[in-house]
Structure 1
């Protein structure tokens, strides 16, 4: 009950656009909306820094089920350099990677995640603990190298994600 109250409070805080990273946010597994392939085991609901009306999901570490596409480009709302990300299973664009954040976005309150997923391209499912009953929150999530759900075939070697 207390966990649900904390999650509701966090969700209402996020609606104001000024909420800092909060470790009480739930962790999501994200499925590609087009083919239902799991594209992320460590998703977080977020808002776009340059336009707080846009909701999306972010992650700290990419999975092998996504692929960086073509070339970098600049965003319309700020000066971040980004590159589209596609689902490896079906090829649809489902998000983007912030290759080089602009100074304005770096100075803004952010969660440090540079892999973003469009909310209309992914189907979120809250990750549950080992009992299958309680939602895992970010403050209880193990580091990526110790995260069993993430490790099970979804990691990209570090040298392939370095900028």
Structure 2
């Protein structure tokens, strides 16, 4: 499943995100693709905080370099999402993946594999969680200034050894929402298996576009 990290309590409060429930650790579950396969293929899609199954149940995380992903983890059938800021509706990334917290499958989040270009920036200081030694830093929307997620600056070794999707940029579902991205035909939803590895020009083009402009 996907993995995600918590934001600092004060940053979450500043962005309107609830602080009474902390995600623990570094693992999230890959998206349910609108509940299509919520109970199927529960592979961890990001960096985890432990390699044992007992530990992984309670963890949510981000991701590791794609080359370190386990060969048994496949995410080609996951839908690609356009991620938009809930506060100002700015498009933050055109290649997001929906994920579910392992500790709470009712809590959604999103991740992406390429640093968002011109849409987010770091805020606050780096920090660690109590579960593992991964180094994290919050990211905020450049248009409205609200905290929307976090970046894994330096994954710890246990997380690198966990099954993951190679994503190091995580977005809180309380701060962003996803819109299904269509393939070139404009009819079918684009899947990760058909998504180019690098889309730098696409990321740059969406940096100043609103959600409505991008979808049109």
Query: Number of aligned pairs?
Result: 145
Q: Is the contact between residue 44 and residue 164 of structure 2 (CA under 8 Å) also seen in structure 1?
A: no
What is the CA–CA distance in structure 1 between the aligned matches of 2:130 and 2:43, rounded to whole Å?
19
**2:159 equivalent to 1:105:** yes
Match of 1:34 among 87, 92, 97: 87
Residue equivalent to 2:39: 12
Higher helix share: 1
TM-score under structure 1 normalisation?
0.77
Q: CA RMSD in A?
A: 2.3
Q: Which has the higher contact order (CA 8 A, sep 6+)?
A: 2
Q: Which residue of structure 2 aligns with residue 127 of structure 1? A: 181
Unaligned runs of 5+ in 2: 1-32, 46-72, 208-216
TM-score by length of 2: 0.60
Gaps of at least 5 residues in structure 1 are 1-6, 155-163
What SS does structure 2 have at the residue aligned with 1:90? coil
Counterparts of 1:1-163 in structure 2 under 5 Å? 10-13=37-40, 16=42, 20-48=73-101, 51=103, 53=105, 54-63=107-116, 64-145=118-199, 149-152=202-205, 154=207
For residues 130 and 111 of structure 2, what CA distance do their matches in structure 1 show? 19
- Aligned pair in 2 of structure 1 residues 76, 33: CA closer, same or farther (>3 Å)? farther
